[in-house]
Structure 1
């Protein structure tokens, strides 16, 4: 009886903490994970100690601001992606749509007026608007908050459409269920946030180092050790009835928590290793980023795309080239299977070596790139040349 009363006094207020959804543990960046580990230790009698140990602990401390290559305004980034993905009148319509967004990135224009202006059906304009929404940065040109949240829910929680219904009810003034509230706390409320700079971080979630010319990666979870409470481990088989069920529930939560952390560690390490493999040249300071897609990493690790998206969300990695969000290393591929950045670098290099008296046409550049193994069309070369702000061959010719 004394054991049961002691446990009830210690634990009755904390059971909900231990019932947090597994997905949420995947989402936490390292600083929030540290707090969660502390709360778990205080709440679960089967956890004696949570030890963050190892000689590499100081590697994960970040005292400087992250160092992105370029931090353009979200609309600049979007317009660059639009020029890369669309052509002709579609680009004009896309730019018209973007120009009619407010300071938060929501579309405030009139689809019918845009359709009349360009002599196309409203459905044609609407298709372009929906296409723009799915480009990076995600969600710009959403018509309202609900549409923007729907887009994020589909990406973060593809198997939980009921979250959107809960959000709609909340907009109508009804209280959000606790679990839905926790999950929806991870969605943004506007496509363009006031602070578009990369936030400061105190600790990073992963580290990539150069060791004798080789890239080596570590994730923070490799330093975590959860030590069990031997007393309760020994007591559990000896007690019966209600006290046994009470202890058994916390024992299962302890084991489940360890299992979730193990899954998080293995998958984050797998993602980090894929980043090292694909982005080796960039990480060594010898080249630019290459094409890396969430779906490719998901297939390689045999996990869902949504799991990869959750794992890389709001997490940072310290590299020899600076500290970046995990998402920074995931670069959209072109039709030819290379990143936009890589292809633009190649085009710029080819043009820089041309004879100014006989500048290369877009067809010439496409042929040279094909000789280098890049399967690109003249039209693609023209798109990226324009993105780079490089004039046509006629305008580049020296008189």
Structure 2
């Protein structure tokens, strides 16, 4: 082998991650709310960036001061003032008000306040009892007395340390509780939750239908009694793409610009750019002007990419937009990426957290991407989407006889009759994803 030392030149193509490219990638993957927060932060660090609220157009046509609860039913309207925000109390506030009505020593109040602060959002008591007793110099019986005081407050079930205790506390306040219900909750709660009802019926000498009636009674209890006080901030989804069907056969896609804040140039700094005597200030403003132009370019690229994806979806999922969710077709990120001639990761970022308004409702863009399921219909090449199979699975579960619920294998056979070749393992996976329990857990005993 002949090795020579020397200087040699060769050409090489390489993608370099520049600041501009990094910003474009970041902006593309942001949802609308994240993008607006990002732009507000950019305004604070760049004096040349000025933002304005998004333009509102007629995407949603509503009558003034009236919210229509059920579309298509003009008689069912609700006055706007029912939706005016009113102050809400926390669970701690509601319990503290009740505590204040009791005659307590300052020490009692301190202990009860600390126990209230130890409740989670669902109303369960989360406290390490040994360390709590040591910290406050309490005996076990004393702590139990304080806990009982919390459990006497409203709503019923507050202060339970387990689901079993929470349900039991609620049953204590109900009238005409069947003895079997109390017995099940007290002595057989774990087996009852696991639906080992045959063993319970044998041990208690009752019929399965009696346990079913007890289960129906228990279901009226609230497993999360404190949740009604939880304060969740509502996030309103505004679609970035709008699909309209024209003439019953043409699918048109457009951007809805009423989602993000508008970025404009702060004209007040124009004179500074031209005439300011301080060179450092001029250099600083020139850098910020370049940053502003990069930002505008990234925002334009984001819109272009999302619109391109929307148009491909309109083409590939045309049957969905004309017929509805049951007609959705198999589609992968790679297929769309190949159509637009970009990397698959770009499509993944473009659909993340973005929504589309269709004639059948608002859907997240990733909804339209679903794997193919082999079809055994007449056409061997025909395939169905996983989403379609899930829809069929939901129909079968909804229509099944709850006394004899469908097993996974029976569902496989029924779907095979419909032309979908799906394994039992796949059905179990889909059930889990859809929050559907097994046939044993779905069974009712009447």
With normalisation by structure 2, the TM-score equals: 0.39
* Structure ranking higher on relative contact order (CA contacts 8 Å, 6+ apart): 1
